[in-house]
Amino acid sequence: MNKRKLGSQGLEVSQMGLGCMGLSYGYGKPTNKKEAIELLRKAYELGITFFDTAEIYGPFLNEEVVGEAIDPFRNEVVIATKFGFNYVDGQPAGLNSRPEYIRQRVEGSLKRLNVETIDLLYQHRIDPNVPIEEVAGTVKDLIREGKVKYFGLSEAGASNIRKAHAVQPVSALQSEYSLWWREPEIKSFKTLAELEIGFVPFSPLGKGFLTGKIDVNTEFSKNDFRRSIPRFNEENRKANLALVGLVKQIAQQKNATPAQIALAWIFEQKPWIVPIPGTTKTHRLQKMLAQLT
């Protein structure tokens, strides 16, 4: 698989990464651990060297699964994880990016991932109670200490990106982006291009909608977070199916799947974009990668 660079600090990853969240969190019952590890190792065999996780996925379970899965080829891959949430009785409870707390969360991630260094560390969400300069300064210290290699932000706006970058160069911004959700083009692309920061879109398949497998009759499980997203209520799904119909039409013309078309569109936007679609099925992973391997 081809490589792409995120930022100007030298971070190189596979052209497409793998979002690991859905294996443990967000889409219903977690995937069996053995099956999840098999999927992650298959992804590596197919050329993926960029794996995205976070302590909140589970919480904590996803980092453990990713850590065990990548152990045989740790030095050949890039692992991204995130900090930024408080926890009460093991469950998320608001934002927290205080410097001393960042250090605490990083130590936990290092243990769960079973690594000495986190390749790419994101602030998961901007904490309005902590100046972004303090956050960037803390990560800068962690990089100096060898516990982190590169710094990233998730769902940050242009102003915070600039402030953070002035303290510690930001290698990547992670935000939602797809044919179905194009807000970053307006809010952040200009800043990213100017500062030479890479972009990592999560949900490049529209949280599954652009695969063509979801319609007005689809019922989501009680643990599926899409139940609470307005775009996925029955009325909006019905309206948005027009876009899916167009993607399906193009896919038929190109002898491809809708997911392949949605990803191909992402790849053509900018050379510094690396999408991280997620899946729990090996055959779907293979189809997504068919155009790249």
pLDDT in tens, 248-276: 999 999 999 999 999 999 999 999 999 99
Q: How many CB atoms lie within 10 A of CB 186?
A: 8
Catalytic annotation, pick one of 27, 57, 122, 150: 57
Proportion of the chain above pLDDT 90, given as a percent: 97
Answer whether 266's CB lies under 8 Å from 178's CB: yes
Mark out the alpha helices in 59-157 (DSSP H runs): 61-70, 99-113, 132-144
Mark out the alpha helices in 2-116 (DSSP H runs): 33-45, 61-70, 99-113
CB burial class (10 A; 0-12, 13-18, 19+) of residue 13? buried
Whether the full predicted model's pTM is greater than 0.75, yes or no, is: yes
57 is catalytic: yes
Residue 273, SS3 per DSSP:
strand
pLDDT tens digits, one per residue of 210-220: 999 999 999 99
Domains of the chain: 3-206+259-289 (3.20.20.100)
CA 292/CA 15 separation, integer angstroms? 8
Helix (H) or strand (E) holding 260: helix 258-269
Strands 3-6 and 11-14 turn out to be antiparallel
